[in-house]
Amino acid sequence: MEIQPVSAWKNRVSRVIDSKVDELKYLGFDEAEIENVWACLMRKKWKKDIDLPLHQVVEDIFHLNGHVFMSYLTMQSYQKDDLGDSISQVLNNH
């Protein structure tokens, strides 16, 4: 059983990610795209680029649920808003 960092498996599991994107879109998550689903998994499930076997990566992708994905999107939205506010404040003060 081969074990690699999860980032090394990304190309091999692209069809699995596509399937998860389709499922999330079916559930009403129109924002679901390959990159943000992968980013969600990297941040919420794996926390860092840990070493896992292929079957575990596939299982984790299939088990990503809508609540976790929605939480990730919400946090990303807040972070973007905070960054935008910070930039505006800096520009307005100078």
**CA proximity to 24, closest of 82, 65, 79, 54:** 65
| Residue corresponding to tokens 């575990």 | 56
Q: Return phi, psi of residue 37, to 5°.
A: -65, -45
Q: What is the pLDDT along the chain (94 residues), one digit of tens a residue?
A: 799 999 999 999 999 999 999 999 999 999 999 999 999 999 999 998 999 999 999 999 999 999 999 999 998 887 766 555 655 665 676 5
Count of CB atoms situated within 10 Å of the CB of 71: 13
Please tell me the predicted confidence (pLDDT) of residue 60: 98
Please tell me the predicted confidence (pLDDT) of residue 4: 94
Structural domain spans, the chain: 3-93
Please tell me the predicted confidence (pLDDT) of residue 21: 98
DSSP 8-class letter at 45: I
Please tell me the predicted confidence (pLDDT) of residue 77: 82
pTM of whole model > 0.85? no
Report helix, strand or coil for 51. Answer: strand
